[in-house]
Amino acid sequence: MDSRPRETDAPGDPANGAAPPLAAAVTAATGDVEIIRPRNDKRGYRRVVLPNSLECLLISDPDTDKAAASMNVSVGYFCDPDGLEGLAHFLEHMLFYASEKYPEEDSYSKYIAEHGGSTNAFTSSEHTNFYFDVNSDSLHDALDRFAQFFIKPLMSPDATLREIKAVDSENQKNLLSDPWRMSQLQKHLCAENHPYHKFSTGNWNTLEVKAKEKGLDTRLELIKFYDSHYSANLMQLVVYGKDSLDNLQNLVENKFCDIRDVGRKPFSFPGHPCTPEHLQVLVKAVPIKQGHTLRILFPITPNIRCYKEGPCKYISHLIGHEGEGSLFYVLKKLGWAMSLEAGEGDWSHDFSFFCVVIQLTDVGQEHMEDTLGLLFRYIKLLQNSGTPKWIFDELQAICETGFHYRDKSPPINYVVNISSNMQIFPPKDWLIASSVPSKFSPDAIQNVLNELTPETVRIFWESKKFEGKTKLAEPWYGTSYSVEVVPPSIIQKWVGKAPEEDLHLPKRNIFIPSDLSLRSVEEKVSFPAMLRKTQFSRLWYKPDTMFFTPKAYIKMDFHCPLSQSSPESAVLTDVFTRLLMDYLNDYAYDAQVAGLYYVVKPNDTGFQVTMVGFNDKMRTLLETVIGKIAEFEVKADRFSVIKEAMTKEYENFKFRQPYQQVLYYCSLILEDQTWPWDEEFSALSHLEASDLGIFLPHLLSKTFIECYFAGNIEPNEANNIVQHVEDVLFNAPISACKPLSPSQHLAKRIVKLEKGLRYYYPAMCSNHQDENSALLHYIQTHQDNVKQNVLLQLLALVGKQPAFHQLRSVEQLGYIALLRQRNDSGVRGLQFIIQSTVKDPANLDARVENFLNMFESNVYNMSDAEFKSNVSALIDMKLEKYKNIREESAFFYGEISEGTLKFDRKEAEVAALRELKKEELVGFFNDHVKVNAPQKKILSIQVYGGLHSAEYETIVQNAPPPPSCEITDIYGFRRSRPLYGSFRGGVGQMKL
């Protein structure tokens, strides 16, 4: 596929090759600029430049429930002083702590959390971005705190030392991550005098040990860096709220006018990171995980210099195509590739790389030279094809429709995207950026195509097969690698001996929507209604009464009792869904390109088909998917490729981060009728194509389909589609599908923990190289109940920031230290998750208990005003409107899938919150959460990393102290415990 950046929601589609007229322009209040915006965007926009040269974009959205802001600072790790790697990133961390105006440590994050919001930041090569969202009526105070980052931050010596440890912990988390390792290897094999070569994150060694060796005080260097680099003229601010533009302007002028403008010139880093010695190279690298990856990089002219012409978008569309005649189509047919992506990779205004990433099969690994030969042959085909205009027109139409009918995204994502764009694009293009190529320039396309040559190529080939055959090591992550020169003459030989395959340009895209009209809705419907019910299926329907876009959402859950009856059947169901997607790809790839997304995947009762996007061609695609299910044939060659891919995924399970492993063990212990990964892996190893051929008719022999249709679709059409599905699957002369008996309807049920007991499950980290340990401390409270739900949610809201501050900021236990709610099929509770190299999991467990003892006073001493403020923050969060059809459908289908059918859940919980008393919160805490509470039910999952193996040996050898109980056999434990009843019943939605 083409790996260009995508919107969070579906990129759009065109009107049958004819591009819609470009967006309406919004005139800024200053009259000096027009900002191009989507046709269906009713928000107000205004560009403002403050006297201190801070450039701002104000966005007024009277319908929003969330306000947000993002400050982009045009300073990144490229500016790190030599020998102080990670300083820019460290500064990003430090600005969160405290300011002269708000000296209480962590008060900013506390305020945001208590007012329904979230906050974060990131540092990239040339910018650092700080952002938050908050309930809309709290924007003023949140902005006041946020602005102090850039006016007078406090960087206390104590906080400085603690936060260096946090940066180090963040780096520890990444040390065994292949994406981080390979990215740094690419940077390492570049010119040392170019900032691209740098190590961006920083760690204890760079920020503390080496700094001291050089006689540097890191805190003083930090302040010096801030004073000289953070200047208002290098900042771009976006503020999104429900106030009028005039009020937002007054607010921003008032809060941000005191940021200093030191007249810092914008930083520039001319020159390319790669000199001739870094080109024409083949780098073999040893990854952590199983798999073979081929990354082919070419230095090119940055697309940003001609983004209206969009040459990279055009080229990545073709090289990343997956339809007939494409490079991927041929590699897949040969059994050599599992996936292919193409697009612009790392880039700045001064340099860029075009990147092709191919995941190879084991056979493909043996045919690397042929694979590269086919790639260069396809590039030569494009270079000689003369850039047909119809391909550009089609791409432009797809991109324009996507822009005009772009779904609303959460304000926090929107402001980050725009503030980042402000550093790069002129004001009129801040919203559209480079998403829509608007000028057809064969020369611009040809120029970039001509840069994809054997003379400039960098080939990175990753595989465990190179273990023991590489002599070099990248210094920051320790990745083993070797380098050899690959002159163009060698690549020409590979091109010559590659198999003769029919590579050609794609055909025209039949999925580009031509009908973008909106269906009429006679009445405003708030909730889904059941349109039809038969012995084969049930159809829920919800028209679009909120978003008014030509998009729909379809979910079809195939309930098949056999799908989860054993590890073998679970694996075969997974193989079946992957093969189905594999068979559909050549035909349906165009649908994805045109903004119509689909996926077929297994779930806990069978498998599901999901579609979302432009509704115009959705029925065509759905009927094709159903037809493939009805006529499914097992192709042995594709079965082998899917089996190989799944085998690698199972093998890579042990390389998951410890915090992911504790989440896995928690689900395995709590969820009845789930199978452990090692048993599924064992089952997969002896399965053959013939096993799937035998299994599939049995899988479908008892089926019930739960359907949900929403959006721009009429009830008769939904009815007709479901009738068609029934006719094809159940009513055909020869049909594998038979209806499900009422007694066979499946329900996921959850283990009920025992009151007053603390269960714990210790395990060694499955990757012995990983030094990190992890804890999941779960407190099970209740099964779905409106009053108890809101008490739990309120407690989580009140506790989230104090837990983070104490466990992460003060005690420095690790970069990941979270308090969250947990919901397993309606059974709810609180969970603490900590990943650490500092303390072993049993010690982390003790720190959680210690925190809960400290937190008691927060709960008991909460003032009435504070209680009301937290309640009203939670109410605001619950009343937040859905932003797009996906969000709305996810909530309603969740109620259907769980069997709760409480479509008015939010309204009911808001009503309960309005009646809630502080004493009830204290009572809930005392009964369920407080240390030694009488009703308390605890499950402590402990994964011990390499640094804590001795502690693991001790804990498994020692007898558990009362009232603790060690789980030594997960499945025996599951069988011995009672289960909560399920809300999910049969066709009539009976309660179990």
* Residue in 880, 859, 854, 881 with CA at minimum distance from that of residue 870: 859
Residue whose entry in the numeric block shows the structure tokens 């769980």 = 898
pLDDT band for 619, please (50, 70, 90 cuts): very high
Q: What letter represents residue 223's amino acid? A: I
Geometric angle at alpha carbon 581, from 579 and 583, rounded to 5°: 70
Decide if 23 contacts 42 (C-beta within 8 A): no
Residue whose entry in the numeric block shows the structure tokens 């059409």 = 717
Q: Do domains 44-257 and 529-730 have the same CATH topology?
A: yes
- Calpha distance 868→567 (Å, rounded): 50
Domain 44-257 has CATH 3.30.830.10: yes
Number of H helices, E strands in the chain: 32, 29
- The pLDDT assigned to 961 comes to 87
pLDDT band for 24, please (50, 70, 90 cuts): very low
Q: What is the pLDDT of residues 417-466, one digit of tens each?
A: 999 999 999 999 999 999 999 999 999 999 999 999 999 999 999 999 99
- Calpha distance 734→858 (Å, rounded): 67
Please state the domain extents for the chain.
44-257, 276-410+432-497, 529-730, 750-980
Q: What is the pLDDT of residues 536-553, one digit of tens each?
A: 999 999 999 999 999 999
Residue whose entry in the numeric block shows the structure tokens 């801040």 = 430
Residue whose entry in the numeric block shows the structure tokens 């009277």 = 62
- Calpha distance 16→398 (Å, rounded): 9
Residue 309 has pLDDT above 50, yes or no: yes
pLDDT band for 985, please (50, 70, 90 cuts): low
Strands 596-603 and 606-614, how do they pair?
Answer: antiparallel
Residue 845 has pLDDT above 60, yes or no: yes
pLDDT band for 749, please (50, 70, 90 cuts): very high
- Calpha distance 701→605 (Å, rounded): 14
- Calpha distance 974→748 (Å, rounded): 13
Residue 807 has pLDDT above 50, yes or no: yes
- Calpha distance 616→550 (Å, rounded): 8
Packed helices 107-114 and 864-878: angle between N→C axes, nearest 10 degrees = 60
- Calpha distance 128→121 (Å, rounded): 7
Residue 20 has pLDDT above 90, yes or no: no
What CATH number should be reported for the domain whose range is 529-730? 3.30.830.10
- Copy the structure tokens of residue 620: 């065509």
- Calpha distance 751→824 (Å, rounded): 10
Residue 919 has pLDDT above 50, yes or no: yes
pLDDT band for 32, please (50, 70, 90 cuts): low
Question: What's the mean pLDDT in 342-365?
Answer: 97
Q: What one-character DSSP code corresponds to residue 253?
A: H
Residue whose entry in the numeric block shows the structure tokens 């490729």 = 641
Decide if 173 contacts 816 (C-beta within 8 A): yes
Residue 988 has pLDDT above 80, yes or no: no
- The pLDDT assigned to 745 comes to 83
- Calpha distance 604→115 (Å, rounded): 36
DSSP 842-880: HHHHHHHHHHHHHHHHHHHT--HHHHHHHHHHHHHHHTP
* Residue in 432, 258, 441, 465 with CA at minimum distance from that of residue 361: 465
- The pLDDT assigned to 820 comes to 96
Catalytic residues: 92, 163
* Residue in 62, 110, 83, 53 with CA at minimum distance from that of residue 236: 53
Q: What is the pLDDT of residues 44-70, one digit of tens each?
A: 999 999 999 999 999 999 999 999 999
Q: What is the pLDDT of residues 107-136, one digit of tens each?
A: 999 999 999 999 999 999 999 999 999 999
Q: What letter represents residue 945's amino acid? A: G
pLDDT band for 1, please (50, 70, 90 cuts): low
- Calpha distance 408→399 (Å, rounded): 16
Question: What's the mean pLDDT in 323-350?
Answer: 97
Q: Please, which residues have CB within 8 angstroms of residue 567's CB and are 6 or more apart in sequence?
A: 675, 676, 679, 680, 682, 683
- Enclosing H/E stretch for 602: strand 596-603
- The pLDDT assigned to 29 comes to 42
Fold (topology level) of 750-980: Cytochrome Bc1 Complex; Chain A, domain 1 (3.30.830)
* Burial readout 675-704 (b: 16 or more C-beta within 10 A, e: otherwise): bebeebbebbeebebebbeebbeebbebbb
Residue 882 has pLDDT above 60, yes or no: yes
Sheet of 235-241, strands arranged across? 44-49, 55-60, 235-241, 66-73, 128-135, 118-123
The separation between the first and the last C-alpha atoms of the chain, rounded to the nearest angstrom, is 45
- The pLDDT assigned to 444 comes to 97
- Taking phi first (over 0 means left), then psi (-120 to 50 degrees means alpha), and beta for anything else, what does residue 548 get? left
- The pLDDT assigned to 992 comes to 27
CB atoms within 10 A of CB 270: 9
* Residue in 21, 855, 60 with CA at minimum distance from that of residue 438: 21
Residue 21 has pLDDT above 60, yes or no: no
Geometric angle at alpha carbon 701, from 695 and 704, rounded to 5°: 125
Decide if 762 contacts 942 (C-beta within 8 A): yes
pLDDT band for 247, please (50, 70, 90 cuts): very high
Q: Where are the alpha helices (DSSP H) in 701-785?
A: 715-729
- Calpha distance 871→278 (Å, rounded): 59
Domain 276-410+432-497 has CATH 3.30.830.10: yes
Question: What's the mean pLDDT in 829-836?
Answer: 98
Residue whose entry in the numeric block shows the structure tokens 């009703």 = 935
Sheet of 337-347, strands arranged across? 337-347, 352-360, 292-299, 458-463, 281-285, 480-485, 472-473
What is the gyration radius of the CA atoms in the chain, in angstroms? 29
Sheet of 537-543, strands arranged across? 529-533, 537-543, 704-711, 551-559, 606-614, 596-603
pLDDT band for 12, please (50, 70, 90 cuts): very low
Question: What's the mean pLDDT in 59-87?
Answer: 97
Residue 526 has pLDDT above 80, yes or no: yes
Q: Please, which residues have CB within 8 angstroms of residue 132's CB and are 6 or more apart in sequence?
A: 68, 69, 112, 117, 118, 119, 120, 142, 146, 412
Packed helices 949-957 and 841-860: angle between N→C axes, nearest 10 degrees = 80
Decide if 550 contacts 541 (C-beta within 8 A): no
Percent above pLDDT 90 for the chain: 92
Mean residue pLDDT of the chain comes to: 94
* Residue in 297, 245, 239 with CA at minimum distance from that of residue 71: 239
pLDDT band for 23, please (50, 70, 90 cuts): very low
Q: What is the pLDDT of residues 621-664, one digit of tens each?
A: 999 999 999 999 999 999 999 999 999 999 999 999 999 999 99
- Taking phi first (over 0 means left), then psi (-120 to 50 degrees means alpha), and beta for anything else, what does residue 116 get? left
Residue 17 has pLDDT above 50, yes or no: no
Q: What is the pLDDT of residues 157-201, one digit of tens each?
A: 999 999 999 999 999 999 999 999 999 999 999 999 999 999 999
DSSP 388-414: -HHHHHHHHHHHHHHHHTPPP--HHHH
- The pLDDT assigned to 989 comes to 46
- Copy the structure tokens of residue 807: 């466990």
